[in-house]
Structure 1
């Protein structure tokens, strides 16, 4: 069992056909923990359902499962499973119902920081951080075109900081809305930063694991040449303009 170097915004495991864990992400270790076999992480009543659904012949499947927690409690989650072969599968975990816990933890950390520093300076610092965060989110809004398709227009330079700020929002929005197809519009993009494209690649890989089709549109010739030298999934499709994409997929 080894740590997966690729960073993903949700817990991620690699399992073999016997459900032994052969790879895991930092998020998986921190949020769900580790075990020799994936079944050891699950509530016992979920074992039969998991074994019935997660099989090599079901190449891509989503299944709702309960994870075990301390104190006899459990955590509901959607598993997005993709078999690379009959031997190994990738498992992306979307936890449900843990938002309150995260908010509580964030508030506790905030109180600690307020006690250790000057309140006025901290408030100004947080206002600045929030302004930067909101600016980054506005650089990649999630827009629903119809029930199946969403548009994410990207603006400005694609930096690592900007993509880190929006990756979780993009993945969770696609999961929440049940989107089947996502357009990333590069029309408003300036410079491409290799570190930023690496984060974008992680977002796209997460969407693929969830069964979402991804298309890149509006790429300029110079950007196309640069993208050829950067890590992007081979199955990624490109289209010339947003108008072309909407006419093909959003009009009947």
Structure 2
């Protein structure tokens, strides 16, 4: 019984013209019967197959590992040159299948092994698709988290400008966080409705809880104050700190705004307008 029966991969014994002298049982399962190995090679791969598979051990001095050669095509093994090349072969199941072919020459006899790469490519493709799906799911989760975070930030901004009734005509609006455009935009409509529905004539905006006044926030707040001025509401800004005054250098919230820091003045305002 021939040992070729037990070779687990397609194996061919060929001569210098690639005539098939023997082949393994597995070769018969994968390929159609052929007299010459090149008959199994795709038309566009034949020149490549001839070029690389024809290199024999006697040529190793010309194509050694120390001399220039095609990357990953030459393997040094026990002093013999084993040539490796990827070519497209015609199989029983497909006219175009990628194989990695290894050949080692013993004088004029070549031992040729063909290892199919289609399954490896499919595995890599499946792996890439799996990673792509995972990335898509991760992107969706990140998008959901981003939306939740934006909703939370929006809610925080809304809570950063609450309305407190001091008297039938006076309201207090303590501000917290940073004075930016988002804080103003998120609270403009709510505060305007509170003032209009409650018939308030005076508003006190407390800056004591603000950390930073941004340029956009200053501009937005000035427009906000202008809307109250047009509604006939007198606006006071209280609790200004030194960093706030530096941010307002060469800028202002408008001439209609009254600034106060003295607690007694604020109490007097409440008495006169209540």
Q: TM-score, normalization: structure 2?
A: 0.44
Larger relative contact order (Cα-Cα within 8 Å, sequence gap ≥ 6): 1
Q: TM-score, normalization: structure 1?
A: 0.48
